[in-house]
Amino acid sequence: MRLRSAKRDSVTAVDARTAARAETGGPVPALTLESVTRSYLRGSQQVHALDDVSLTVDRGHFLAVMGRSGSGKTTFLQCAAGLDRPTSGVVRIGETDLSRLSEGALTRLRRDRIGFVFQALNLVPSLTVQENTALPLLLGGERPDSPAVRERALRVLSAVGLAERADDSPLRLSGGQQQRVAIARALVTDPAVIFADEPTGALDPVTARDVLTLLRDAVDRQGHTVVMVTHDPVAASWTDEAVFIEAGRIVDTLDRPEPEAVARTMARLGER
């Protein structure tokens, strides 16, 4: 584990990594933020929910985004995932600059190239487990009775251990099983990036470990990129790297974070 200085210029760091890839012909990052700021008015005062944030997330990387309540981590996720547009700066998924997309194109990108796993699972009770899993494909125009759609949904359900429950209602599943369906739904389009917002927040420790194992396997075995917002040091310890946000800025990072180191960093933020 290596603690990197939070005082480096993040814009320079992004530029250096981009230049290195250009020289070596390296792969395009899964996610890039360059000088991203998100501001809004609170009364007559301008508030920066994100303040000049730059970050590069390589393909096949598992990143934890941490911070206290109100630090800006949720705004980070919303801007990075195309759910909100930054006031300034650039967000790229692969080579696609989200700021250049129309609302329709941005909706299609979220559906086809981004997976979402939230604490509020948003499963549809009237659909089967298989139909919930295939929902992004159905919203993209695929037919619900298509054998190819069912096969694709069953493949990702098998990966999360729920293929035998494909025809059940999600209401018949436990909370942990429902979260597995949400992960399968996030995987079904083979997305460029999976964003997970407190995916273990409502789960007991054993079930949370099962969910984190699935996300870790999605990175290690399937090559996916996962960006997870969490407040839990144990959850963060499953990732490759943790970044810490305070007052809208990235103020610290940890490689291969361990729970004790994460907890100490969070405690230091609380003392500021």
The tens digit of pLDDT for each residue in 85-134 reads 999 999 999 999 999 999 999 999 999 999 999 877 789 999 999 999 99
Q: Considering the entire predicted model, what is its pTM?
A: 0.87
Under a CB-based contact definition with an 8 Å cutoff, are residues 255 and 80 in contact? no
Q: Is residue 130, in this structure, part of any structural domain at all?
A: yes
Output the DSSP codes for 217-242: HHHHTT---EEEE-S-HHHHTTSSEE
**Structural domain total, the chain:** 1
Domain of residue 64: give its range: 58-82+101-270
Mean of pLDDT values over 59-69 = 95
Q: Which whole-number Å values give the CA distances from 12 to 54, 55, 61, 228, in the listed order?
A: 9, 10, 21, 24
CATH of residue 73's domain is 3.40.50.300
The tens digit of pLDDT for each residue in 181-235 reads 999 999 999 999 999 999 988 889 999 999 999 999 999 999 999 999 999 999 9
pLDDT value for 25: 58
In this structure, the number of other CB atoms found within 10 A of the CB of residue 24 comes to: 8
Q: Is residue 49, in this structure, part of any structural domain at all?
A: no
Q: Is residue 92, in this structure, part of any structural domain at all?
A: no
Q: Is residue 238, in this structure, part of any structural domain at all?
A: yes
Q: Is residue 30, in this structure, part of any structural domain at all?
A: no
